[in-house]
Amino acid sequence: MKVLEDLAALRAWRATRGELGFVPTMGALHEGHLTLVRRARQAAGQAVLVSIFVNPTQFGPSEDLASYPRTLERDLELCRETGCDAVYAPGPEDMYRAGATSFVEVGAVAEPLCGQFRPGHFRGVATVVAKLFLRAQPQRAYFGEKDYQQLQVIRTLVRDLDFPVEVVGVPTVRETDGLAMSSRNLRLSPSERLKATRIYAALQAGPSPEAAREVLRAAGIEPQYLELVDPDTLLPKPWPLQGRGVLAVAAYVGNVRLIDNLAFEGA
Ligand code: PAF
């Protein structure tokens, strides 16, 4: 497996490959990421590239950029074991030219849910993903459905800007007690880790947002948002649910902000 530390190394490696499956990550890899890699491996004849880059432009000034877990050596080992062909792990100076002022805005789908509470977050995500797509030129890119709004933002980006990339959404991977796998889970204390399991329990009480809210209330969790939304536009869906809906939640457990979602089919 090749470790590519800058754009020049990535371009040189890319020139030697044909079809490429791409798994963009911020590292601190867990089973959720490895499932994306395995899914990419399934496409016959396709090389698999993982990127590891903690992207500063998607963190707000009061967010957890500094404390975001960084476990590069272990990540590389996991990528090697899972059969990645290469890992692109650039530093911030390789990714962003000093004084760069251009960003990608995707519009409405980035505004509700996390967009209300993390201004600029999806602009940072869309910008770095666009740059990564331009640099790596993948045929397919794999994203977890846990970050449901991010997946819709990236689908919109690809559609609106004509990226020749197939975006593959992969179902959320959960711990045995239901907690959605996330790099941020590493920062939960044992008691917070236990409390965090109530987030998925709440979603399972859906699709009624009130029933889900009740489960969170009983666990002492005040959600930042808990909304039943249209799966494509992410606009609120009225209750009772008709057709497809996604119940989406964000909540702090201690200092750790967790998100999760569950899809439902109404009458
Ligand atoms: O989901 C993530 O890890 C990040 O938001 C992504 C897509 C790698 C962009 O930095």
State which of 26, 71, 165 you would mutate to test the pocket of ligand 1, scoring each by most atoms of that ligand within 8 A of its C-beta: 26
CATH number at residue 253: 3.30.1300.10
Q: Is 111 inside a domain boundary?
A: yes
Per-residue confidence (pLDDT) for residue 53, from 0 to 100: 98
Atom of ligand 1 nearest to the CA of 58: 10
Catalytic: 121?
no
- Tens digits of per-residue pLDDT, 169-194? 999 999 999 999 999 999 999 999 99
267 in a structural domain: no
Question: For ligand 1, atom 1, which residue shows the shortest CA distance?
Answer: 25
In this predicted model, what pLDDT tens digit does every residue of 123-150 receive, in sequence order?
999 999 999 999 999 999 999 999 999 9
Residue 244 has pLDDT above 90, yes or no: yes
Residue 47 belongs to domain spanning: 2-170
Residue 243 lies in a domain: yes
Tens-place pLDDT, residues 19-37: 999 999 999 999 999 999 9
Whether 205 is in a domain gets the answer: yes
pLDDT digits (tens, 9 = 90+) for 197-237: 999 999 999 999 999 999 999 999 999 999 999 999 999 99
* Domain boundary residue, one of 170, 204, 222: 170
Binned at pLDDT 50, 70 and 90, residue 267 comes out as confident
Looking at every residue in the chain, the average pLDDT score rounds to: 97
Active-site entry in 30, 33, 193, 198: 33
Residues 52 and 124 in one domain: yes
Alpha helix positions (H), the chain:
7-14, 31-42, 72-82, 92-95, 114-117, 121-136, 148-160, 190-204, 209-218
The closest alpha carbon to 58, from 1, 142, 114, 140, belongs to: 114
Beta bridge partners of 23: 50
